[in-house]
Amino acid sequence: MKTKNQSSFSSKYVLLIIIVVSIILLGIERFTDGGGPLRFIGGYTVIPMQEGISYVGRFMSDLSDNFETLDDMKERNRQLQSKVDELTMDNTRLRQEKYELDRLRELFKLSENYSDYEKIGAHVIANSGNNWFADFTIDKGSNDGVKVNSNVLAGSGLVGIVIEVGPNYARVRSIVDDASNVSAMMLSTSDTCVVRGDLELLSDGRLRFEKLPNNDNDIKEGEQVVTSHISDRFLQGLFIGYVSDIEVDSNNLTRSGYITPAVDFSKLQEVLVITTTKQDMLDAKDSSDTENADNADAADTANADDADAADTANADNAGANEGEGE
């Protein structure tokens, strides 16, 4: 109990001493215009504390600014990446359009080379599932004038022939297909041969030709091969390719060899379809021949009638003249 009272007494004296010292210090500060001990004590206690608080505040402000700057950078990066993606897509589209334009120019040039025939452009929309377009489908059909046996062109020459037609599609068998046989001829000599499809040879970029007569005509490498006039399905003069190799067969009667095709059968995208078939041309020729024959018969009949009429008139005139003479 005594200890508690002593502690309470000491605390009162300590508090009283602090109050007295504070009053004295305040008085000194008043009379020294702020240059007293309180300022000195504050310089060592309060100011460092203020500087610490200020530093922490600046650090927190810089950290907040850094977060805002980071968010801004992320947003700018997102916008820039979006712009890069957009430009990449535009560049890809422009390159595709350029390549398509180049291919269409080739088709236009090819179309001019065969200006005697009616043609229609088409896109390849499917193939047989391998790397070579031996059998493929186009997006034009009977509604567009495409028929079975319509000849198909691309690149610099003949691609193949239509074997199936629907209203809005057609199936094409190319001349490189194993089932393909084309009646062809050498352009400079008109010697006929047969060009056969062979997918195994096409991997080397070649076609095979057979049954070329072994005559005195000199056929060299680089000779142009075109479709023959005796073909019942292919129009005459369609360019197939160039002779790359030729040799005499064992029977000494015929020659055979290889052709470098005029078309790249691994990259077909657009083609030209000749809507006039060989049969259409034969039918038109027969009709024209029949019409000409009918016209000739009619002319002969008319001439004969005119001759008979002239003979009759001459006979009547002769009779009249004799009557007058008597």
Per-residue pLDDT tens over the stretch 123-144: 999 987 776 788 999 999 999 9
- What integer pLDDT is reported at residue 313 of this predicted model? 61
Q: Which of 113, 137, 154 lies at the terminal end of a domain, its last residue?
A: 113
C-beta of residue 189 within 8 angstroms of C-beta of residue 199: no
Please compute, for residue 46, the number of CA atoms within 13 A of its CA located in the half-sphere on the CB side.
6
pLDDT greater than 50 at residue 326: no
Query: Do 134 and 52 sit in the same domain of this protein?
Result: no
For the chain, the C-alpha Rg in angstroms (whole number) is 51
Range of 33's domain?
23-113
DSSP 8-state assignment for residue 283: H
Q: Rounded to whole angstroms, how far apart are CA atoms 79 and 89? A: 15
- As for how many domains the chain has, the answer is 2
Query: Do 185 and 268 sit in the same domain of this protein?
Result: yes
For β-strands 270-274 and 135-138, DSSP reports them as unpaired
Query: Do 85 and 141 sit in the same domain of this protein?
Result: no
SS3 268: coil
Residue 303 lies in a domain: no
Query: Do 153 and 238 sit in the same domain of this protein?
Result: yes
Query: Do 101 and 168 sit in the same domain of this protein?
Result: no
Query: Do 63 and 211 sit in the same domain of this protein?
Result: no
Question: What value does the mean pLDDT take over residues 225-244?
Answer: 94
Query: Do 77 and 224 sit in the same domain of this protein?
Result: no
Please compute, for residue 139, the number of CA atoms within 13 A of its CA located in the half-sphere on the CB side.
7
Query: Do 87 and 171 sit in the same domain of this protein?
Result: no
pLDDT greater than 50 at residue 270: yes
Residue 304 lies in a domain: no
Check which CATH number belongs to the domain holding 183 and give it. 2.40.10.350
DSSP 8-state assignment for residue 235: P
Phi-psi region of 155 (alpha: psi -120 to 50; beta: other; left: phi over 0): left
Q: Rounded to whole angstroms, how far apart are CA atoms 18 and 184? A: 125
The reported pTM is 0.62
Q: Which of 236, 251, 277 lies at the terminal end of a domain, its last residue?
A: 277
Residue 3 lies in a domain: no
Between 71-85, 206-220, 281-295, the lowest mean confidence (pLDDT) is in 281-295
**pLDDT above 90: percentage of residues in the chain:** 40
C-beta of residue 174 within 8 angstroms of C-beta of residue 107: no
